[in-house]
Structure 1
Amino acid sequence: MSHQTVSVNSTAPTLANQLTSGWNPVCHITYNRDTWVKLLQPPSDYAFEEAKLLCQESPVAWVAWVPDYGEVVLERSDFYC
């Protein structure tokens, strides 16, 4: 097994400095109505791989429209921006 060394820009703050300054490394994506999202798994072989968010059904689910398929309910784990 070989290891690869990656050089880091010396002007970038270190992770320790970022954490102590209040920077949170967790990604918090805010989804909005009319946002197009990429589906991890299209609902059928003939449906598009993207969906348009219509309205939020719950904190973890959205009603969406998939071209060539129709309306579906997607959990946040079913798509990404």
Structure 2
Amino acid sequence: MSLQSTNPICLPAPAPLSAIASGWNPVCQITYTRDTWVKLLQSPSEYAFDEAKLLCQESPDTWLAWVPDHGEVVLDRSDFYC
């Protein structure tokens, strides 16, 4: 599968160890667009891909997305890498 993105790759700064230990999950402040492929933090099922194509934004923090071998899902911004 080829990744298609109109956005530059965003590599977030490493979180402090105390933040990682507490389970805090930083969210990148990047603007996503429709048809952007994103890397999922956790696949929605054992057989589904670990990438999703953003279809449309439902709210400031959620996207309707399509995951190959799974189907449509609603993703929170904290569910995928930027």
Q: TM-score, normalised by structure 2?
A: 0.65
2:70 aligns with: 69
Which of 1 and 2 has higher RCO (CA within 8 Å, sep 6+)?
A: 2
Q: Tell me, which stretches of 5 or more residues in structure 2 are unaligned?
A: 1-27
Identity in percent: 82
Q: Could you say what the CA RMSD is over the residues aligned between the two structures, in angstroms?
A: 0.9
**Following the alignment from structure 1 to structure 2, what is the Cα–Cα distance between the partners of residues 64 and 28?**
19
Equivalent residue letter for 1:78 = D
1:29 aligns with: 30
1:51 aligns with: 52
Alignment of 1:1-40 (within 5 A): 28-40=29-41
**Following the alignment from structure 1 to structure 2, what is the Cα–Cα distance between the partners of residues 55 and 67?**
16
2:13 aligns with: none
1:7 aligns with: none
**Following the alignment from structure 2 to structure 1, what is the Cα–Cα distance between the partners of residues 80 and 53?**
11
**Following the alignment from structure 1 to structure 2, what is the Cα–Cα distance between the partners of residues 28 and 48?**
24
- TM-superposed CA distance for 1:28, in Å, is 2.3
Q: Tell me, which stretches of 5 or more residues in structure 1 are unaligned?
A: 1-26
Give the strand-richer structure, 1 or 2: 1
